[in-house]
A and B are shown apart, each in its own frame.
Chain A
Amino acid sequence: MPRRVAIIATGQTKHAARRLDVNIAELITEAVTRALQDADLTMRDIDAVLLGNMEPFEGFLFPELWAVEGWGGYMKPSVKFNTGGTVGTTTAIAAYYYVASGIYDTVMAIGFQKQSEGHTQTAITTVGDPIWERSVMAGAIGNFAVMATTYMHESGVTEEQAAKVAVKARRNACLNEYAHLQMPDITVEEVLRSEMLAYPVKRLDMCPQSDGAVAVIFAEESKAQKLCPRPAWIKAVATAHEQQYMGDSPKRLAEMRSLIAASRRAYQAAGITNPRKELDVAEIYEVASFAELAMYENLGFCERGEGGKLIDAGVTELTGELPVNPSGGVLSTNPIGATALIRVAEAALQIMGKAGRRQVEGARTALATGYGGNAWTDILILSREKP
């Protein structure tokens, strides 16, 4: 039986398109300071620091080592992860394993990215295999668009239904003081009329590029109980990978093999048989509006082909049966190295009852996901009850 582990504190920066007021180290400091304040801790209370970042986006090797004073890492154990969009959840899951192992009692997980300092499209295009994909790759958006048409074909979802996701995200983001995009008056028509980037993906269907950082503190059971009145206990974690190349997954979004495998493994570990009923809130890694609908289906929130109906019925709105991304999600805030860890932080805030105006009343069980690389998945399930 692993040691029980809980999240006891979180801190985020104000995410924005360009945080020109701070450098990378100072950006991280902002999140770390808030996380320490959240649990009334100092860096002396932290045994080790795990970091997540996608350094090609800033053109760095070991940016965290240059920025070490920014996260208080001097003379502390640390390690940096790099797994693409999932890197934030990779880091959170590593924090869980490290604390569960007994090697450390308290671990701070940090995700950071200053996308404004590099060239995002180039860094994403070099995700493509240099021999087999890159010479014909169409950037993040083209790559995403081809998956979206497959999904539309398989499930029958419409551009309007996807636009509703984009609207939900940006309206929810207005309740989140840290979110990058704040668009209170956005409408479905506006999304549908926004510039066509690559059919069926329009500008407002896509996530933005953000500068931002997030810090989340994990602790073992006795420390968690001492330091936090209502810790968010880690009920289950799971990771599942895809095969090597982008074309290997037969139906891409329409059948997300890694999301299905990881979520079912996590549900089983957490004793969840009906996720729509038993989860109170979900923070999922939806890189684009269409992906969120596909993820509803693959996460088992609804039957296959019913993703569009779920958004039509308002099930995933903040006031719905299973609110999805009350924070505004990736569609509103996307500093890549931090994005998946923000999902975990937001899920923890819901369990801790600290989500402010975006709080889902009485949330007891929350799901957080990361999605990245070649369509692979991380899952965490957080709970008010101990595992």
Chain B
Amino acid sequence: MRRVAILGAAQTRFEACKASLAYNELVYGVVREVLDRTGVPMREIESMVTASQDAYDGKTISGMAINEVVGAYLKSEAKVAADGLQALLYGVARILSGEFDLTLVVAHCKESEGDPAAITGLMFDPFVQRPLHLDELTAAALQARRYCRKKGLTPEDVALVSVKAHRQALKNPYAQRAGTFSVSDVLASPLLADPIHELEAAPRSDGACALLLASEARARALTDRPVFIVGVGNCTDAYWTERDLAEAGALQEAARRAYAMAGIREPAREIHVAEISARYAHEELMAIEALGLHPNPVELIAEGRAEFINPSGGPLCGNPPTVSGLVRAIEAYAQLSGEAGARQIEGARTALAHGAGGICGQNQTVVILRRE
């Protein structure tokens, strides 16, 4: 495939409540930062893809609030009502189509403004499941129990993910939650929905992020250290009650496509950094396996060999929905461009970003990035 580069990126610090900023102000901040970092003036950008959700924003057509600050006046913007990494995919397609040299990709969400349990409850089928008052958390708890039983995992095994995530997040200035926790600390944190404890679930977050994509030719003119997107894959699974929740078939398929495009045969050896959209600790274990990064994720983490997975701390340390998936790509980009500061993985050349949407990750996206 022809190649698309990331020229620059920005993210807000994740916080439980950014009460002082309206949506347009929140988003303008990250867009301005991207323009300043890349030196590309807004008048040269003619294409934008944004990601947000009406239900979180409490507004029909959530994109209306931010079209002007992303520079879309008289220009081409489209909003995906899906995970932010899907916005990146569409941005890549726009550049590969040859019609645009530059595309700005932006995501925003403020969980603090609505009721996340009621909002995620709207994902459930109205006939059978909504009367049961399900939400994203309860569905994840059912999945966690099913997965652990099928794989023979203990609560301590799953808690290891949380210990690692919060430790790694200590090096991430954008993290909302970080700390040195033990397995027993994690298991002593409040039980949200058995078997998921508070430190095993992503916190509720406000935030925004943006990145600028460019055609290869444009990127070469603007930077001598381009980071390229060399593989993309997406896949949709069956509705959550129509599949084995212990399996990650759609993620495997999305990864297979992205790896094929990027020419990756041995992901465990070839992927140097992976940023995974695990909103619950067990999801990281599922993803490590499904992505082919290691056949025994618990062993990998227990032996301290999983630092290359979510060096940012991942969504357990800050997770505005829809933003979270695009931040995975921004973190991967930061690693490859050597801008990851204290959380830098030395020598990383190929990175993976993962995004998920829907109940128990029904829609899965995998993006492979590489530096020369």
Is B67 interfacial (CB 8 A cutoff)? yes
Q: How far is the CB of A100 from chain B (nearest CB, A)?
A: 4
Across the interface, B60 reaches (CB within 8 A) one of A60, A84, A98, namely A84
Across the interface, A77 reaches (CB within 8 A) one of B79, B120, B234, namely B234
Chain A: interface residue total (CB-CB under 8 A): 62
With A65-B363, A131-B22, A243-B73 as given contacts, are A81 and B235 in contact (CB-CB < 8 Å)?
Answer: no
Q: Mark A124-148, 1 if CB is under 8 A from B, else 0.
A: 1011011100000000000000000
Say whether A59 contacts B73, CB under 8 Å.
no
Q: Which of B90-98, B287-295, B346-354 contacts A (4 or more CB under 8 A)?
A: B90-98
With A61-B53, A61-B55 as given contacts, are A98 and B93 in contact (CB-CB < 8 Å)?
Answer: yes
Which chain A residues border B94 with CB–CB below 8 Å? 97, 101
Q: Which of A68-76, A174-182, A222-230 contacts B (4 or more CB under 8 A)?
A: A68-76
Which chain B residues border A49 with CB–CB below 8 Å? 236
With A61-B55, A90-B78, A238-B76 as given contacts, are A75 and B236 in contact (CB-CB < 8 Å)?
Answer: yes
Complex: A53 Cα to B65 Cα, angstroms: 19
Residue of B nearest to A134 (CB): B59
Say whether A69 contacts B238, CB under 8 Å.
yes
Complex: A80 Cα to B119 Cα, angstroms: 17
Residue of B nearest to A83 (CB): B79
Say whether B68 contacts A244, CB under 8 Å.
yes
Complex: A94 Cα to B86 Cα, angstroms: 12
With A66-B123, A373-B61 as given contacts, are A241 and B80 in contact (CB-CB < 8 Å)?
Answer: no
Say whether A56 contacts B76, CB under 8 Å.
no
Which chain B residues border A101 with CB–CB below 8 Å? 92-97
Residue of A nearest to B243 (CB): A74
With A74-B238, A97-B94 as given contacts, are A79 and B86 in contact (CB-CB < 8 Å)?
Answer: yes
Which chain B residues border A322 with CB–CB below 8 Å? none
Q: How far is the CB of B185 from chain A (nearest CB, A)?
A: 33
Q: How far is the CB of B127 from chain A (nearest CB, A)?
A: 8
Which chain B residues border A374 with CB–CB below 8 Å? 64, 67
Say whether A241 contacts B65, CB under 8 Å.
no
Complex: A100 Cα to B126 Cα, angstroms: 38
Which chain B residues border A372 with CB–CB below 8 Å? 61
With A75-B236, A77-B236 as given contacts, are A55 and B54 in contact (CB-CB < 8 Å)?
Answer: yes
Which chain B residues border A76 with CB–CB below 8 Å? 235-236
Is B99 interfacial (CB 8 A cutoff)? yes
Which chain A residues border B58 with CB–CB below 8 Å? 126, 130
Which chain A residues border B122 with CB–CB below 8 Å? 55, 59-61
Which chain B residues border A84 with CB–CB below 8 Å? 60-61, 64
Is B237 interfacial (CB 8 A cutoff)? yes
Residue of A nearest to B56 (CB): A61
Complex: A97 Cα to B127 Cα, angstroms: 37
Say whether A103 contacts B93, CB under 8 Å.
yes
Q: How far is the CB of A59 from chain B (nearest CB, A)?
A: 6
Residue of A nearest to B238 (CB): A74
A-B contacts counted at CB < 8 A amount to 192
Is B1 interfacial (CB 8 A cutoff)? yes
Is B77 interfacial (CB 8 A cutoff)? yes
Is A186 interfacial (CB 8 A cutoff)? no
Which chain B residues border A94 with CB–CB below 8 Å? 78, 90, 93
Say whether A2 contacts B99, CB under 8 Å.
yes
Say whether A75 contacts B74, CB under 8 Å.
no
Residue of A nearest to B254 (CB): A77
Say whether A240 contacts B74, CB under 8 Å.
yes
Q: Mark A98-119, 1 if CB is under 8 A from B, else 0.
A: 1011110000000000000000
Say whether A55 contacts B90, CB under 8 Å.
no
Which chain A residues border B234 with CB–CB below 8 Å? 48, 77-79
Complex: A59 Cα to B94 Cα, angstroms: 31
Across the interface, A241 reaches (CB within 8 A) one of B2, B74, B124, B254, namely B74
Q: How far is the CB of B157 from chain A (nearest CB, A)?
A: 29
Say whether B60 contacts A244, CB under 8 Å.
no
Across the interface, B237 reaches (CB within 8 A) one of A74, A97, A244, namely A74
Complex: A81 Cα to B86 Cα, angstroms: 10
With A83-B79, A103-B96 as given contacts, are A69 and B242 in contact (CB-CB < 8 Å)?
Answer: yes
Q: How far is the CB of A85 from chain B (nearest CB, A)?
A: 9
Is A291 interfacial (CB 8 A cutoff)? no
Say whether B82 contacts A80, CB under 8 Å.
yes
Q: How far is the CB of B71 from chain A (nearest CB, A)?
A: 9
Complex: A129 Cα to B24 Cα, angstroms: 11
Across the interface, A56 reaches (CB within 8 A) one of B54, B82, B237, namely B54
Is B63 interfacial (CB 8 A cutoff)? yes
Q: How far is the CB of B194 from chain A (nearest CB, A)?
A: 24
Complex: A372 Cα to B77 Cα, angstroms: 13
Say whether A2 contacts B97, CB under 8 Å.
yes
Say whether A79 contacts B80, CB under 8 Å.
yes
Which chain A residues border B340 with CB–CB below 8 Å? none
Complex: A83 Cα to B63 Cα, angstroms: 7
Is B29 interfacial (CB 8 A cutoff)? no
Across the interface, B125 reaches (CB within 8 A) one of A66, A73, A96, namely A66
Across the interface, B362 reaches (CB within 8 A) one of A68, A96, A239, A373, namely A68
Which chain B residues border A240 with CB–CB below 8 Å? 74-76
23 sampled A-B residue pairs with Cβ under 8 A: A2-B98, A54-B61, A60-B126, A65-B239, A65-B358, A65-B363, A75-B237, A75-B249, A75-B253, A77-B235, A79-B234, A80-B81, A81-B79, A82-B54, A83-B79, A94-B93, A98-B90, A98-B97, A127-B61, A130-B58, A241-B67, A241-B72, A376-B67
A61-B55, A74-B236, A101-B95 are known; give 5 further A-B pairs, CB within 8 A. Answer: A65-B362, A103-B1, A238-B76, A239-B77, A241-B72
